[in-house]
């Protein structure tokens, strides 16, 4: 193989690099920014795809984020690679913030009673056995309800920011190449 490592990474090294960037957070974020800006699609498609990924990340349905983002991106005519990149907003550092915010928003919207602040004794067993009924009422239902307004808000913000950024990037690239910027097709 052409670009294979001489010394393959161990499982612990792979896990560490999946959770923490090799060089720096700034470099990783810059790389993601360039990946989004350099996608070959209309500014709307890229922005809609990223927004679909961001919205899907706010739901508590782990394992379905990419599928949900792809379906939403397809419906709004967004870019599927951009939707996958938008899903990367959710990571081990941001999930606690996202889940806490969606839980509190859902609890506020449903006017649920405040538990005593401790997880029930059976929460670990319910999660281990996949007993969704035991965690639906106190945890998943408020998180699912709270994820909708928060996900919509952050999806709209990301759509606006990405749309402006991609339009200016593509216009600058076209100007530098000597051509006119490509017109966005009418919906």
Average pLDDT of the residues of the chain: 81
pLDDT in tens, 108-145: 888 766 656 555 566 667 667 776 776 777 778 888 99
Contact 50, 82 (CB under 8 A): yes
Integer Cα distance of 11 and 3 in angstroms: 19
pLDDT at 109: 87
Highest mean pLDDT among 8-12, 76-80, 121-125 belongs to: 76-80
* Residue 187's pLDDT band (cuts 50, 70, 90): low
Mean pLDDT of 89-108: 85
- Nearby residues of 179 by Cβ (< 8 Å), 6 or more positions away: none
pLDDT at 184: 57
* Residue 151's pLDDT band (cuts 50, 70, 90): very high
pLDDT at 153 over 50: yes
Please state the domain extents for the chain: 42-114+122-174
C-beta atoms surrounding 54 within 10 Å: 27
Q: 11-25, 53-67, 107-121, 152-166: lowest mean pLDDT where?
A: 107-121
> First and final CA of the chain: distance in angstroms?
44
Contact 51, 57 (CB under 8 A): no
CA angle 119, 122, 127 (to 5 degrees): 90
pLDDT at 58: 93
- Cα 69 from chain centroid (whole Å): 8
- Cα 156 from chain centroid (whole Å): 13
pLDDT at 186: 47
Tally the residues of the chain.
Answer: 187
Mean pLDDT of 61-79: 91
Higher-scoring residue by pLDDT: 175, 35: 175
Mean pLDDT of 79-94: 85
Distances (CA, A) of 183 to 31, 42, 46, 133: 26, 9, 15, 51
pLDDT in tens, 29-56: 777 777 777 778 889 999 999 999 999 9
């Amino acid at each position: 193989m052409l670009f294979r490592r001489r010394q393959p990474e161990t499982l612990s090294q792979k896990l560490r690099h999946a959770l923490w960037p090799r060089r720096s957070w700034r470099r990783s974020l810059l790389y993601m920014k360039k990946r989004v800006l350099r996608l070959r699609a209309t500014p709307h498609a890229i922005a809609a795809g990223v927004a679909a990924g961001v919205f899907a990340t706010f739901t508590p349905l782990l394992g379905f984020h990419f599928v949900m983002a792809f379906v939403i991106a397809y419906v709004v005519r967004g870019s599927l690679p951009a939707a996958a990149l938008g899903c990367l907003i959710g990571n081990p550092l941001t999930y606690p913030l996202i889940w806490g915010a969606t839980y509190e928003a859902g609890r506020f919207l449903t006017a649920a009673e405040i538990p005593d602040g401790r997880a029930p004794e059976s929460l670990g067993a319910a999660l281990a056995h996949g007993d969704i009924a035991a965690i639906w009422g106190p945890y998943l239902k408020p998180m699912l309800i709270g994820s909708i307004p928060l996900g919509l808000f952050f999806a709209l913000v990301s759509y606006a920011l990405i749309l402006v950024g991609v339009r200016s990037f593509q216009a600058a690239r076209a100007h530098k190449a000597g051509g006119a910027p490509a017109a966005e097709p009418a919906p």
